[in-house]
Amino acid sequence: MTPPTEHIAVYPGSFDPITLGHLNVMERASRLFDRLIVAVGINIDKHPLFDADERVALIRDATKHLANIEIRTFRGLAVTFVRECGARVIIRGVRPITDIAAELTMMMANRRLAPDVETLFMIADGELAHVSSSLIKQIAPVADDAALSRFLPLGVVHALRAKLTAGRL
């Protein structure tokens, strides 16, 4: 009898910062796979609000209730990282209106690069489907903590507030 194969998926993104929408996708994807690797992308051409180590720490804190999640950083092509992890599934969180065209283009490119890797699109539940890290950066300077907590895990609200106080946003 062949031992069961571990089903691994990778959820890549910048997560700058992680939102409740990201967390919703992580929670649901973690129920579908034996192991979910959250892959924090490092792009030297971008200037993130939170550095890679901070993003990893914020995700780790927000997902501590999920036993089968691992958080890693990566550079380069996500599909290459997925293969290096021994996974065959990429999870992509999409917003219903704004992301579909770009995500389909990326999915088709990934299929040409790695035909054995599938992309699974997941939309965050209901009122979280429109939330983006860009939106958070726009509203953070004028929103109070109660408003931000409707979009972000509490630990991220505090970290964002610290960035605001330090004048980094």
Residue among 22, 30, 55, 92 flagged as catalytic: 22
- Marked catalytic residue, from 31, 46, 47, 65: 46
Helix (H) or strand (E) holding 37: strand 35-41
Q: Is 95 a catalytic residue?
A: yes
| 8 Å CB contact between 60 and 37 | no
Which of 95, 130, 137, 163 does the annotation list as catalytic? Answer: 95
Helical H segments across 49-99, by residue range = 52-62, 78-84
Would you state the structure tokens that stand for residue 72, as one six-digit string? 């890693």
Residues 168 and 160: beta-carbon distance below 8 Å: no
Catalytic residue among 30, 55, 92, 133: 133
Q: DSSP code of 128? A: G
Is the four-CA dihedral 28, 98, 126, 18 of positive or negative sign? positive
- Is 132 catalytic? The answer is no
Active-site annotation holds for 46? yes
- The residues that are catalytic are 22, 46, 95, 133
